[in-house]
Each structure stands twice: as structure tokens, then as C-alpha cells.
Amino acid sequence: MGIWRNSKSDIRGVVDQWSPQLVGWVYDAEALDTPVDLAVFVDDVEVARLTASEPRADVSRAGHEVLRCGFSFEILEFLSPASHVRLIEVSSECEIFSSPGDSLFRLLTPRANKSEIGSASFLGDFGDDESFVGAVQASGSVALLSSHRSRYVSDGALRLLVKSLQAEGVVVVVIDSSNEEPTDLFGAEKVLWRKNSGFDFASWCAAFEKYEPVLRFCERLYLVNDSCLGPLNGLRELLAKGWGLDVDVWSCTDSWDHGYHLQSYFLAFGNKSIADGALSRFIDSYSNPLKKQDVIAEGELALSRQLLSEGVELAAVYPYADLVQRFLVSFEAELTRKMSTPEVRALREVNSSYMPQDVVALRSIYDSVRVGHPLNPTHVFWRQLLDSGSPFMKRDLLERDPSGVSDHVEILEWLSKKGSQNFLAVANEDLKRRDSNRVQTLNT
């Protein structure tokens, strides 16, 4: 919405969005070490006080001399279609943001129409149903694998994931939302080709509804997507650890961002949550939003909340708390290692204040962890995840590093050391498709 500046106190910042969540950054150029306090008003009623102290590495990368200046607030519950939102800088009592007069448009959340929901969304059905049902009855384990092939995501990566699941006795249904019709089954037992609408949760819900009479009697059901590179060396260790947790629903990782939840790129359900209808009830209540932020809120976050409210115990194989502890234990050694490389030492001889971006980010992570600010573990704790044995790495970490935390060459080195030859081959196939200058290739 453009950078604004308060001339009285040199307050600078941006409101990235104001509905359904108020998000942005603000700092005082005359007092960089002092976070700015903000008051949020809806229809002239103060509903919250915020301190702009959340990490915003993107602001620092854009040339501003401050890392901790972000703010976020769940404002949707205070809004009506005609609401007016204002943001006041507390010390000067100056208004620094006022929402435009198009609240109604912003508050309306797009929903899928009938042609985009359930069986009506399918464009094609590939694979023999009778053989599929027989395989499910024999195995008792099924994965609903949501995929969107594009010029950036090769068939090879999808086939590797399918093959890795099948190696552990899992029957695979690929729900493909790609623009081009599938030409084969990618090695899976079934492929459902559907409209590209509603992201992973819409695909999972549509497939579950189609095969619910069969799936309700499964011993194990997996909801999986291809947003990660992997598995690096198969799935045996992950599945053994997951079912060893002695809970009915588990994931690879969990998160506390916007409240505790299991991250949804690899979710596992035992027979109790399936047979008792906990998963079915969620799917029946799912409203099929179309915007990604709404899918996260009403899908990933709401699923964990509903399961917890029904008394279902949840767990993660690589829990957030363990990853934080691993990070803290290794922090000083990692900081020393990064600052003592020949390249950094040479640059600091020319400019003693020089500090590489990944060191700045590392310190920012440390500050966030110490004050309990939740972070996305798949982005900021990728070292700890791989070192713990996680078989997956988020694709966007390699492509654009959304949290600004990684040394790209180091990521490639880690994957090259830990990945099997099959993984390295398909990962390189994907990486070579990227337009980003950031992407190189893995050593095979």
C-alpha cells in the first residue's frame, strides 16, 4: 500500500494487508532499537494494542536498518461488511493507516461453486476401480496425494513420492490438478484429474468423498502433497517413528503460528479417527474456500483445532520444541562457523561492520526463539530437520528462501550428502526447470 512516513516522529512502515488479518511493519527511524506501539481501531472503537517487534527479514533486505519491526493481528472477528479500520501510532497519537471504502469486497471470501466441489470437480478418472478396491482391502493403507504438475515440477518427483509410499505397502491415489491431462498413472493405483481449484484440501476432500465407503475401513490413511522435495532416502524411518508415537493422528512437523497445528504436507490418520468419523466430520463441514490464506485458516489450522476439540491426540515426528532446542544448542557454534569463513574474514578486513545476511537472519531467529515468537519450522529449522532424519525439504526454501535464513550453497551440500541417487536425479530435474538465479544443481 506504499511506504508512509509520519513527519513528526519519522515513523515509517507499510500495511501489507488489513483483512482478514492486519499485517505490516513499522519503525521509528530516530529510535531503531525501540519498537513502535500501535492502537487498532475498528469503527472508532479500540480493539487492540500491538507492538511492532516481530522479525521482518524482508524489510532489512529492502535496505531498512531494522529487523524486528513487524506486526500481525487477527482482526476478522471484529469486522462487519462496512467496517472502517484505523491504525494509530500511540506516542504521537497520529493516524498512520485508514482502510479504504471497499470493505465489503475485501470481507467476502470466495468459495467454490458446485462445479469445483467433490465429484463435480473431476475431469478424468484413471485406473481400474475394482483393482484399486482390492489393493486397499489387502493393504489397509492408502495415501491421497495432491499434486500440481507444472513447468517447475516434473513427473519424476511425483513418481519418486508414489514409489516411496508403495515401498511401505501404501496404496496411492494421485489427485492431479494440473492443466494438462495425465498420460499415465505415475505408478499409482488411481489418478483423479480435477480442476485446479481450492488447493490441497479441496483435492483431499474430493477424493475422500469419492472413496469414503472404502477408506472408512482403512487402518491408515495419509494426506500428502508434493510441496516438498523428497523423500531423500525413503519413508521407512518416518513411518516407523510416526506410528511409534502411539497417537491416532500425526504429521512430520507441527507449528504454533496462529495456534498449535500439524503441518499438512504429510498427515497420517489411524483407524480410530477414520472409523469414528472425526475426519469425515471435518470434511463435511469444510466450506471449500479458494484463497490460499483461507485454505490455511479453514483447512490446516481448523483441522487440528477440530480434532483437538473432539479429544483426538496429535503429535509430530519432529516437534517444534525439539527443533528449537537443537537450534539453541548449536547456535553459538553455527554463528562462529559462519563468521570465520575465509570469505567473511576477507570482507570484514575491508569493512569491519560487515555481516553476511544469513548471520543477520540467524541472530533474528535466535531473538524470536528467546521471546517465544512462533516460526515456520520447515523454513527456519531446515538444518535441524535434516539432521534429525526428516526426509523432506520445502521446495520454496531452495527457490526463494521466504524467511531469509539459509545459505543456498549449504542447502545443496546437505541434500547432496543425505539424498539417495534416485532423489538427487529427480531433484536436479526439478531444479533445472526453475527460472530463479538462486537455483543451482545437486552433486550426484
Task: Annotate 349-369 with DSSP letters as a single string.
Answer: HH-TT---HHHHHHHHHHHHH
pLDDT of residue 109 exceeding 80, the answer is no
- 256 and 327 in a single domain? The answer is no
Residue where a domain stops, chosen among 76, 107, 138: 107
- 42 and 93 in a single domain? The answer is yes
Amino acid 16: pLDDT:
79
pLDDT of residue 108 exceeding 80, the answer is no
In which band, very low, low, confident or very high, does the pLDDT at 259 lie, cut at 50, 70 and 90?
A: confident
The dihedral formed by the CA atoms of 397, 402, 403 and 406, expressed in degrees to the nearest 10: 40
- 174 and 298 in a single domain? The answer is yes
Amino acid 423: pLDDT:
83
Strand partners, 46: 41
Lowest pLDDT segment from 17-21, 37-41, 93-97, 379-383: 17-21
Nearest-5° angle of CA 140, CA 145, CA 148?
165
Mean pLDDT of the chain: 86
Identify the DSSP state of 343.
H
Instruction: Examine residue 441 and state whether it is found in any structural domain, yes or no.
Output: no
Count helices and strands in the chain by DSSP H and E runs: 18, 20
Pairwise CA distance, residues 108 & 127, whole Å: 39
Instruction: Examine residue 21 and state whether it is found in any structural domain, yes or no.
Output: yes
Pairwise CA distance, residues 125 & 357, whole Å: 48
Instruction: Examine residue 436 and state whether it is found in any structural domain, yes or no.
Output: no
Domain enclosing residue 368, as ranges: 320-431
Pure H helices in 357-407: 357-371, 377-380, 382-388, 395-399
- Condensed to tens digits (0 to 9), the pLDDT of residues 137-195 reads 999 999 999 999 877 667 888 999 999 999 999 999 999 999 889 999 999 999 999 99
CA atoms within 13 A on the CB side of 53: 15
- 268 and 386 in a single domain? The answer is no
Distant-in-sequence, close-in-space partners of 109: CB < 8 Å, separation ≥ 6: 20, 289, 291, 294
Q: What is the mean pLDDT of residues 307-312?
A: 93
Distant-in-sequence, close-in-space partners of 254: CB < 8 Å, separation ≥ 6: 260, 261, 262, 263, 314, 315, 316, 319, 320, 377
Q: What is the mean pLDDT of residues 315-337?
A: 95
In which band, very low, low, confident or very high, does the pLDDT at 12 lie, cut at 50, 70 and 90?
A: confident
Pairwise CA distance, residues 438 & 444, whole Å: 19
Residue where a domain stops, chosen among 270, 290, 317: 317
CB atoms within 10 A of CB 251: 24
Instruction: Examine residue 440 and state whether it is found in any structural domain, yes or no.
Output: no
Lowest pLDDT segment from 86-95, 147-156, 226-235, 313-322: 147-156
- 172 and 288 in a single domain? The answer is yes
Q: 160-179: string of b/e by CB count within 10 Å (b at 16+)?
A: bbbbbbbebebbbbbbbbbe
- 289 and 311 in a single domain? The answer is yes
Instruction: Examine residue 209 and state whether it is found in any structural domain, yes or no.
Output: yes
Amino acid 152: pLDDT:
67
Lowest pLDDT segment from 3-17, 117-131, 149-163, 384-398: 3-17
CB atoms within 10 A of CB 441: 13
Amino acid 185: pLDDT:
96
In which band, very low, low, confident or very high, does the pLDDT at 419 lie, cut at 50, 70 and 90?
A: confident
Instruction: Examine residue 442 and state whether it is found in any structural domain, yes or no.
Output: no
Instruction: Examine residue 129 and state whether it is found in any structural domain, yes or no.
Output: yes
Give me the number of domains the chain comprises.
3
Amino acid 188: pLDDT:
97
Amino acid in the structure at residue 143: A
Pairwise CA distance, residues 322 & 390, whole Å: 13
- 250 and 173 in a single domain? The answer is yes
What is the helix (H) or strand (E) element at residue 416, kind and residue range? helix 408-418
Residue where a domain stops, chosen among 301, 317, 333: 317
Of the two residues 66 and 440, the one the predictor is more confident about is 66
In which band, very low, low, confident or very high, does the pLDDT at 272 lie, cut at 50, 70 and 90?
A: very high
Instruction: Examine residue 148 and state whether it is found in any structural domain, yes or no.
Output: yes
Amino acid 102: pLDDT:
42
Closest alpha carbon to 15 in 90, 95, 80: 95
- 165 and 143 in a single domain? The answer is yes
Closest alpha carbon to 226 in 158, 167, 321, 274: 158
Amino acid 407: pLDDT:
67
Q: Is the pTM of this model over 0.85?
A: no
Lowest pLDDT segment from 132-136, 154-158, 311-315: 154-158
- 63 and 144 in a single domain? The answer is no
Q: What is the mean pLDDT of residues 56-72?
A: 82
- 95 and 24 in a single domain? The answer is yes
Lowest pLDDT segment from 51-60, 96-105, 192-201, 383-392: 96-105
- 261 and 405 in a single domain? The answer is no
pLDDT of residue 206 exceeding 90, the answer is yes
- 162 and 215 in a single domain? The answer is yes
Of the two residues 3 and 118, the one the predictor is more confident about is 118
Amino acid in the structure at residue 307: L
In which band, very low, low, confident or very high, does the pLDDT at 416 lie, cut at 50, 70 and 90?
A: confident
Amino acid 241: pLDDT:
98
Task: Check: CB of residue 431 under 8 Å from CB of residue 423.
Answer: no
pLDDT of residue 436 exceeding 70, the answer is no
Pure H helices in 244-319: 271-275, 278-285, 292-295, 302-309
pLDDT of residue 1 exceeding 80, the answer is no
Domain of residue 268, CATH code = 3.90.550.10
Overall size of the chain counted in residues: 444
How large a percentage of the chain has pLDDT more than 90?
48
- Condensed to tens digits (0 to 9), the pLDDT of residues 71-106 reads 988 887 777 766 788 999 998 888 888 887 543 333
